[in-house]
Amino acid sequence: MVGTSTSLIGPTARPSTPTTSSYQKGYHNVLKVDSNGYANCKSDNPISTFESGDDHITLARGTHYFICGISNHCSHGNMKIKIIAQGGATQATMAIGLVMLALLLLNGELAESEQFTVGDNHGWDFDVINWTNDKTFHADDILEFKYQKGYHNVLKVDSNGYANCKSDNPISTFESGDDHITLARGTHYFICGISNHCSHGNMKIKITAQ
């Protein structure tokens, strides 16, 4: 078990060795990428995508690159490995998921995600604007918006939409009455797009996830 992703550059395996990747489905995934995707944690054009939570990947001879494509798990969590498959090695099953998990633990990057109910006992309702004041949020935390379906909704907007309560061009719209939104690192803006609930009812929040 090693402490940094760069220490994993040298693992070797025999061609046709089945490689097992075990992880929590939905929280991680496995992307096979090229050397550029590995170096820069680029998940937009993977060679292959695996999401079952227990993926078995057969290695051909050569160099293989794998990253996690969820949120910033690769760039900030060092969830990436480089494997060289060559002849002469003893056939073995490499648990990629366990190695990735060890990397996160040893680098201090793994923290259990926390779920927040927006507005606490009041839910997503009027005058929720100050609910975030005493809270700290991190990437992969989950926001739960609970409200009366049809009476409110949740719009994810940009900074201008937040400042001016503009609901005409949202990034995303949620209307189920019990919406769960996972935060990526950065600043996020949410408003209610119904009537004047944002402008007159202070139904908007700004969240920065670290």
Tell me what the pLDDT averaged over the chain comes to.
82
pLDDT at residue 57, as a whole number: 85
Specify the pLDDT at position 90: 34
* Residue 158 predicted with pLDDT over 70: yes
* Structure confidence by residue, pLDDT tens digits, 7-40: 333 444 444 444 555 677 778 899 999 999 999 9
pLDDT at 91: 37
Give Cβ neighbours of residue 68 (< 8 Å, ≥ 6 apart): 28, 29, 30, 31, 74, 77, 79, 80, 100
Q: How many other β-carbons are positioned within 10 Å of the β-carbon of residue 29?
A: 22
Residue 169 is classified by DSSP as: S
**Residue 167 confidence class, pLDDT cut points 50, 70, 90:** very high
Average pLDDT score over residue span 39-63 = 89
Provide the pLDDT for residue 11.
Answer: 44
Return the CA Rg of the chain.
21
Give me the pLDDT at residue 86, please.
74
Alpha helices in 55-181 (DSSP H): 96-106, 159-164
8 A C-beta contact, residue 61 and residue 87: yes
User: What tokens appear for 124 in the block?
Assistant: 């997503």
Look up the pTM and report it: 0.53
- For the chain, domains (ranges, CATH) are 5-106 (2.60.40.420), 115-209 (2.60.40.420)
If pLDDT is split at 50, 70 and 90, which confidence band does 58 have?
A: confident
Min mean pLDDT across 53-57, 161-165, 175-179, 204-208 is at 53-57
Judge contact between 179 and 200, C-beta under 8 A. Answer: no
Unique residue bearing structure tokens 């060559």: 86
Cβ(209)–Cβ(141) under 8 Å?
yes
Banded model confidence at residue 179, pLDDT cuts 50, 70, 90 = very high
Q: Report the alpha-carbon distance of residue 191 to residue 43 in Å, rounded.
A: 29
Q: What is the pLDDT of residue 49?
A: 93
Phi, psi of 131 (to 5 degrees): -60, -30
Summarised one tens digit per residue, pLDDT across range 79-128 is 999 888 875 443 334 445 555 555 555 444 445 689 999 999 999 999 99
